[in-house]
Structure 1
Amino acid sequence: MKNRLWLLPAVALGGGFGVNALADDTPLSYGQLERLLNSAEDYGFNRYEKLDADHDDNRFEIEGWRADGWELDVSMTLNDGTLTRESQRKSIAPDWGLTREELDAALSKARAGGMQHFAELEVDSNGHVEIEGYNAQQAQFELDLHRDELNSEHLDSGSENG
Protein backbone atom coordinates (compact mmCIF):
# COMPACT_ATOMS: atom_id res chain seq x y z
CA MET A 1 0.00 0.00 0.00
CA LYS A 2 1.51 3.29 -1.05
CA ASN A 3 -0.11 6.57 -0.10
CA ARG A 4 1.52 9.85 -0.95
CA LEU A 5 0.37 13.08 0.58
CA TRP A 6 1.51 16.54 -0.46
CA LEU A 7 0.67 19.83 1.19
CA LEU A 8 1.72 22.93 -0.69
CA PRO A 9 1.04 26.52 0.32
CA ALA A 10 -1.74 27.92 -1.85
CA VAL A 11 0.44 30.94 -2.69
CA ALA A 12 2.90 28.58 -4.40
CA LEU A 13 0.30 27.54 -6.95
CA GLY A 14 0.49 28.94 -10.45
CA GLY A 15 -1.92 31.42 -11.97
CA GLY A 16 -1.90 33.84 -9.06
CA PHE A 17 -4.16 31.62 -6.98
CA GLY A 18 -3.39 32.72 -3.44
CA VAL A 19 -4.88 32.18 -0.01
CA ASN A 20 -7.18 35.20 -0.34
CA ALA A 21 -8.50 33.93 -3.67
CA LEU A 22 -9.25 30.58 -2.07
CA ALA A 23 -11.11 32.23 0.79
CA ASP A 24 -13.21 34.20 -1.70
CA ASP A 25 -13.94 31.00 -3.64
CA THR A 26 -15.65 29.32 -0.67
CA PRO A 27 -14.16 25.82 -1.11
CA LEU A 28 -16.47 22.83 -1.38
CA SER A 29 -17.19 21.39 2.06
CA TYR A 30 -17.88 17.72 2.73
CA GLY A 31 -21.54 18.53 3.34
CA GLN A 32 -21.87 20.20 -0.06
CA LEU A 33 -19.96 17.36 -1.72
CA GLU A 34 -22.26 14.77 -0.13
CA ARG A 35 -25.36 16.59 -1.44
CA LEU A 36 -23.89 16.77 -4.95
CA LEU A 37 -22.96 13.08 -4.90
CA ASN A 38 -26.49 12.21 -3.79
CA SER A 39 -27.78 14.23 -6.77
CA ALA A 40 -25.41 12.26 -9.01
CA GLU A 41 -26.77 8.98 -7.64
CA ASP A 42 -30.32 10.23 -8.22
CA TYR A 43 -29.28 10.98 -11.81
CA GLY A 44 -28.12 7.37 -12.20
CA PHE A 45 -24.36 7.35 -11.60
CA ASN A 46 -23.08 4.11 -10.11
CA ARG A 47 -19.40 4.28 -11.17
CA TYR A 48 -17.23 7.36 -11.11
CA GLU A 49 -14.14 8.40 -13.07
CA LYS A 50 -13.81 12.10 -12.31
CA LEU A 51 -15.26 14.75 -9.98
CA ASP A 52 -14.27 18.39 -10.36
CA ALA A 53 -15.48 21.45 -8.42
CA ASP A 54 -15.06 24.66 -10.47
CA HIS A 55 -15.82 27.62 -8.23
CA ASP A 56 -15.21 30.24 -10.93
CA ASP A 57 -18.12 28.86 -12.95
CA ASN A 58 -20.20 27.59 -9.95
CA ARG A 59 -20.00 24.15 -11.55
CA PHE A 60 -19.52 20.57 -10.34
CA GLU A 61 -18.54 18.19 -13.13
CA ILE A 62 -18.98 14.43 -12.88
CA GLU A 63 -17.83 11.76 -15.32
CA GLY A 64 -18.76 8.10 -14.92
CA TRP A 65 -21.32 5.44 -15.81
CA ARG A 66 -24.83 4.26 -15.10
CA ALA A 67 -25.56 0.62 -14.27
CA ASP A 68 -26.85 0.02 -17.82
CA GLY A 69 -23.43 0.95 -19.26
CA TRP A 70 -24.19 4.45 -20.50
CA GLU A 71 -21.22 6.78 -20.03
CA LEU A 72 -22.27 10.06 -18.42
CA ASP A 73 -20.65 13.49 -18.32
CA VAL A 74 -22.70 16.09 -16.47
CA SER A 75 -22.33 19.51 -14.91
CA MET A 76 -24.35 20.70 -11.92
CA THR A 77 -24.44 23.97 -10.06
CA LEU A 78 -22.32 23.87 -6.91
CA ASN A 79 -24.93 25.51 -4.71
CA ASP A 80 -27.91 23.21 -5.33
CA GLY A 81 -26.99 20.42 -7.79
CA THR A 82 -29.18 21.71 -10.62
CA LEU A 83 -28.23 19.92 -13.84
CA THR A 84 -26.76 22.43 -16.34
CA ARG A 85 -25.25 20.13 -18.98
CA GLU A 86 -25.35 16.46 -19.79
CA SER A 87 -23.75 14.15 -22.28
CA GLN A 88 -24.47 10.43 -22.61
CA ARG A 89 -23.15 7.73 -24.87
CA LYS A 90 -23.60 3.98 -24.95
CA SER A 91 -20.59 2.30 -23.44
CA ILE A 92 -19.59 -0.50 -21.12
CA ALA A 93 -18.91 0.46 -17.53
CA PRO A 94 -15.29 -0.51 -16.81
CA ASP A 95 -14.21 -2.43 -13.71
CA TRP A 96 -11.82 0.34 -12.71
CA GLY A 97 -14.47 3.04 -12.20
CA LEU A 98 -15.08 3.78 -8.52
CA THR A 99 -18.31 2.60 -6.94
CA ARG A 100 -19.97 4.98 -4.49
CA GLU A 101 -18.61 2.85 -1.62
CA GLU A 102 -15.06 3.14 -2.99
CA LEU A 103 -15.52 6.84 -3.65
CA ASP A 104 -16.67 7.38 -0.06
CA ALA A 105 -13.68 5.34 1.21
CA ALA A 106 -11.26 7.49 -0.85
CA LEU A 107 -12.82 10.69 0.47
CA SER A 108 -12.65 9.32 4.03
CA LYS A 109 -8.93 8.63 3.60
CA ALA A 110 -8.43 12.18 2.31
CA ARG A 111 -10.38 13.63 5.22
CA ALA A 112 -8.41 11.53 7.71
CA GLY A 113 -5.24 12.86 6.07
CA GLY A 114 -6.30 16.46 6.66
CA MET A 115 -8.33 17.50 3.62
CA GLN A 116 -11.02 19.95 4.73
CA HIS A 117 -12.34 21.10 1.33
CA PHE A 118 -12.70 19.15 -1.90
CA ALA A 119 -11.46 20.26 -5.34
CA GLU A 120 -11.01 17.20 -7.60
CA LEU A 121 -10.87 13.41 -7.74
CA GLU A 122 -9.82 11.28 -10.68
CA VAL A 123 -9.24 7.55 -11.21
CA ASP A 124 -7.49 6.08 -14.25
CA SER A 125 -7.73 2.68 -15.94
CA ASN A 126 -4.78 1.41 -13.85
CA GLY A 127 -6.70 2.11 -10.64
CA HIS A 128 -4.61 5.14 -9.63
CA VAL A 129 -6.77 7.56 -7.64
CA GLU A 130 -5.74 11.19 -7.16
CA ILE A 131 -7.61 13.51 -4.82
CA GLU A 132 -7.01 17.25 -4.57
CA GLY A 133 -8.36 19.76 -2.11
CA TYR A 134 -7.30 22.04 0.73
CA ASN A 135 -6.45 21.56 4.37
CA ALA A 136 -7.60 23.75 7.27
CA GLN A 137 -4.75 26.23 6.62
CA GLN A 138 -5.92 26.55 2.98
CA ALA A 139 -2.79 24.83 1.70
CA GLN A 140 -3.22 22.57 -1.31
CA PHE A 141 -3.79 18.92 -0.38
CA GLU A 142 -3.08 15.97 -2.69
CA LEU A 143 -3.50 12.29 -1.96
CA ASP A 144 -2.50 9.45 -4.31
CA LEU A 145 -3.73 5.93 -3.67
CA HIS A 146 -4.84 2.83 -5.54
CA ARG A 147 -8.39 1.63 -6.08
CA ASP A 148 -7.52 -1.77 -4.55
CA GLU A 149 -7.03 0.01 -1.20
CA LEU A 150 -10.69 1.07 -1.26
CA ASN A 151 -12.64 -2.16 -1.72
CA SER A 152 -14.32 -3.65 1.32
CA GLU A 153 -12.43 -6.97 1.08
CA HIS A 154 -9.09 -5.14 1.30
CA LEU A 155 -10.29 -2.93 4.12
CA ASP A 156 -11.73 -5.92 6.01
CA SER A 157 -8.65 -8.12 5.44
CA GLY A 158 -6.51 -5.69 7.39
CA SER A 159 -8.53 -6.39 10.51
CA GLU A 160 -8.80 -10.17 10.20
CA ASN A 161 -6.70 -12.54 12.24
CA GLY A 162 -5.20 -15.31 10.34
Structure 2
Amino acid sequence: MKTLIATALAASLVAAPQAFASGTIDDAKRAIQIGSDYGISHFHSIELEDDRNDDGSMEIEGWVDKDWYVEIDVNNDGSIRKEQRRKRADGPWGLSATQAADYIDASVQQGMSRIEEIKINTKGDIEVEGDNADGQELEIDYRSGSMEPIRVDRDDRS
Protein backbone atom coordinates (compact mmCIF):
# COMPACT_ATOMS: atom_id res chain seq x y z
CA MET A 1 0.00 0.00 0.00
CA LYS A 2 2.82 2.41 0.91
CA THR A 3 4.50 1.66 -2.42
CA LEU A 4 1.29 2.46 -4.29
CA ILE A 5 0.86 5.78 -2.45
CA ALA A 6 4.53 6.70 -2.98
CA THR A 7 4.27 5.89 -6.70
CA ALA A 8 1.11 7.95 -7.08
CA LEU A 9 2.69 10.88 -5.22
CA ALA A 10 5.83 10.75 -7.36
CA ALA A 11 3.77 10.63 -10.55
CA SER A 12 1.71 13.62 -9.49
CA LEU A 13 4.84 15.63 -8.70
CA VAL A 14 6.27 14.87 -12.12
CA ALA A 15 3.01 15.89 -13.80
CA ALA A 16 2.50 19.02 -11.67
CA PRO A 17 4.35 21.41 -14.01
CA GLN A 18 2.04 20.34 -16.83
CA ALA A 19 -1.00 21.31 -14.75
CA PHE A 20 -0.49 25.01 -15.42
CA ALA A 21 -2.50 26.21 -18.37
CA SER A 22 -0.96 28.25 -21.16
CA GLY A 23 -1.24 28.87 -24.86
CA THR A 24 1.02 30.04 -27.63
CA ILE A 25 1.64 33.70 -28.39
CA ASP A 26 -0.58 33.26 -31.45
CA ASP A 27 -3.34 31.86 -29.19
CA ALA A 28 -3.13 34.96 -26.99
CA LYS A 29 -3.39 37.28 -29.98
CA ARG A 30 -6.25 35.19 -31.35
CA ALA A 31 -8.05 35.66 -28.01
CA ILE A 32 -7.65 39.44 -28.39
CA GLN A 33 -9.16 39.24 -31.87
CA ILE A 34 -12.06 37.07 -30.67
CA GLY A 35 -12.76 39.52 -27.83
CA SER A 36 -12.60 42.48 -30.21
CA ASP A 37 -14.91 40.77 -32.70
CA TYR A 38 -17.30 40.11 -29.82
CA GLY A 39 -17.30 43.83 -29.02
CA ILE A 40 -14.90 44.11 -26.08
CA SER A 41 -13.30 47.55 -26.10
CA HIS A 42 -11.43 47.37 -22.78
CA PHE A 43 -9.87 44.04 -21.76
CA HIS A 44 -9.47 43.13 -18.08
CA SER A 45 -8.07 39.64 -18.48
CA ILE A 46 -7.37 36.91 -20.97
CA GLU A 47 -6.68 33.42 -19.68
CA LEU A 48 -5.62 30.60 -21.97
CA GLU A 49 -6.04 26.90 -21.38
CA ASP A 50 -3.20 24.67 -22.49
CA ASP A 51 -3.86 23.46 -26.02
CA ARG A 52 -1.47 20.54 -25.42
CA ASN A 53 -3.42 19.05 -22.52
CA ASP A 54 -6.85 20.63 -22.73
CA ASP A 55 -9.17 21.84 -25.41
CA GLY A 56 -7.39 25.15 -26.04
CA SER A 57 -10.26 27.18 -24.59
CA MET A 58 -9.98 30.76 -23.34
CA GLU A 59 -11.62 33.04 -20.81
CA ILE A 60 -11.89 36.69 -21.81
CA GLU A 61 -13.17 39.53 -19.60
CA GLY A 62 -13.80 43.18 -20.35
CA TRP A 63 -16.21 45.94 -21.30
CA VAL A 64 -18.54 45.79 -24.27
CA ASP A 65 -19.88 49.32 -23.71
CA LYS A 66 -20.00 51.93 -20.96
CA ASP A 67 -22.35 49.95 -18.71
CA TRP A 68 -21.80 46.27 -19.46
CA TYR A 69 -18.97 44.03 -18.31
CA VAL A 70 -18.73 40.62 -19.94
CA GLU A 71 -17.00 37.34 -19.18
CA ILE A 72 -16.91 34.85 -22.04
CA ASP A 73 -15.60 31.31 -22.21
CA VAL A 74 -14.53 30.48 -25.74
CA ASN A 75 -13.96 27.06 -27.27
CA ASN A 76 -10.85 26.34 -29.32
CA ASP A 77 -12.86 26.76 -32.52
CA GLY A 78 -13.82 30.33 -31.51
CA SER A 79 -17.40 29.55 -30.52
CA ILE A 80 -18.72 30.92 -27.24
CA ARG A 81 -19.34 28.25 -24.65
CA LYS A 82 -20.59 30.56 -21.89
CA GLU A 83 -21.36 34.26 -21.58
CA GLN A 84 -22.03 36.26 -18.47
CA ARG A 85 -22.91 39.96 -18.56
CA ARG A 86 -23.43 42.28 -15.68
CA LYS A 87 -24.12 45.97 -15.43
CA ARG A 88 -21.40 47.96 -13.67
CA ALA A 89 -21.31 51.61 -12.66
CA ASP A 90 -17.53 52.12 -12.65
CA GLY A 91 -17.36 52.66 -16.42
CA PRO A 92 -15.08 51.07 -18.97
CA TRP A 93 -11.39 50.75 -18.14
CA GLY A 94 -8.70 48.29 -19.08
CA LEU A 95 -6.44 47.56 -22.05
CA SER A 96 -7.37 48.19 -25.65
CA ALA A 97 -6.74 45.34 -28.07
CA THR A 98 -3.61 47.11 -29.33
CA GLN A 99 -2.30 47.65 -25.79
CA ALA A 100 -2.91 44.01 -24.83
CA ALA A 101 -1.01 42.87 -27.93
CA ASP A 102 1.81 45.31 -27.15
CA TYR A 103 2.23 43.89 -23.61
CA ILE A 104 2.28 40.38 -25.03
CA ASP A 105 5.01 41.46 -27.48
CA ALA A 106 6.97 43.14 -24.66
CA SER A 107 6.75 39.88 -22.69
CA VAL A 108 8.07 37.92 -25.66
CA GLN A 109 11.06 40.32 -25.61
CA GLN A 110 11.61 39.20 -22.00
CA GLY A 111 11.75 35.54 -23.09
CA MET A 112 8.12 34.46 -22.74
CA SER A 113 7.06 31.88 -25.33
CA ARG A 114 3.71 30.72 -23.89
CA ILE A 115 1.03 32.88 -22.26
CA GLU A 116 -1.11 31.73 -19.36
CA GLU A 117 -2.80 35.02 -18.50
CA ILE A 118 -2.65 38.75 -19.06
CA LYS A 119 -4.58 41.02 -16.72
CA ILE A 120 -4.82 44.62 -15.54
CA ASN A 121 -6.09 46.00 -12.24
CA THR A 122 -7.73 49.34 -11.37
CA LYS A 123 -4.35 50.89 -10.49
CA GLY A 124 -3.01 50.22 -13.98
CA ASP A 125 -0.77 47.32 -13.00
CA ILE A 126 -0.45 44.80 -15.83
CA GLU A 127 0.64 41.23 -15.15
CA VAL A 128 1.58 38.73 -17.83
CA GLU A 129 2.10 35.11 -16.73
CA GLY A 130 3.47 32.30 -18.83
CA ASP A 131 6.54 30.20 -19.62
CA ASN A 132 9.78 30.57 -21.53
CA ALA A 133 10.94 28.08 -24.17
CA ASP A 134 12.50 25.86 -21.46
CA GLY A 135 9.20 25.62 -19.55
CA GLN A 136 10.38 27.99 -16.81
CA GLU A 137 7.48 29.98 -15.37
CA LEU A 138 7.65 33.75 -15.85
CA GLU A 139 5.58 36.52 -14.29
CA ILE A 140 6.19 39.97 -15.75
CA ASP A 141 4.70 43.13 -14.26
CA TYR A 142 4.28 46.46 -16.04
CA ARG A 143 2.74 49.85 -15.29
CA SER A 144 0.15 51.06 -17.76
CA GLY A 145 1.77 53.16 -20.48
CA SER A 146 5.22 51.60 -20.20
CA MET A 147 6.56 48.58 -22.05
CA GLU A 148 9.50 48.40 -19.63
CA PRO A 149 8.87 45.73 -16.98
CA ILE A 150 8.89 46.81 -13.35
CA ARG A 151 9.44 43.20 -12.25
CA VAL A 152 10.36 39.92 -13.92
CA ASP A 153 9.96 36.86 -11.71
CA ARG A 154 11.46 33.64 -13.04
CA ASP A 155 10.67 30.35 -11.33
CA ASP A 156 14.10 28.78 -10.85
CA ARG A 157 12.88 25.26 -10.10
CA SER A 158 15.28 22.60 -11.28
Range class of TM-score, shorter chain: 0.7 to 0.9
Task: Work out the number of aligned pairs and report it.
Answer: 132
2:132 paired residue among 112, 130, 135: 135
1:102-143 deviation line (CA, Å, top 9, x unaligned): 111111110111110110111110011110011010110110
CA contact (8 A) 2:116 2:130 kept: yes
**Percent identical residues:** 23
1:29 aligns with 2:24: yes
CA contact (8 A) 1:70 1:91 kept: yes
What's the TM-score once normalised by structure 1's chain length? 0.71
Unaligned runs of 5+ in 2: 1-12, 148-158
Q: Is the 8 A contact 1:47 1:93 kept in 2?
A: no
Output the CA distance in 2 between the equivalents of 1:149 and 1:32. Answer: 23
Which structure has more relative contact order (CA 8 Å, sep 6+)? It is 1
For residues 132 and 94 of structure 1, the distance between their equivalents in structure 2, rounded to whole angstroms, comes to 26
CA RMSD of aligned residues (A): 2.5
Q: 1:26 to 1:87 in 2, by over 3 A?
A: closer
SS in 2 for 1:149: coil
AA aligned opposite 1:46: S
Uncovered stretches (5+) of structure 1, i.e. residues with no partner: 1-13, 151-162
Aligned-partner SS, 1:148:
coil
Give the number of the structure whose alpha-carbon radius of gyration is greater. Answer: 2
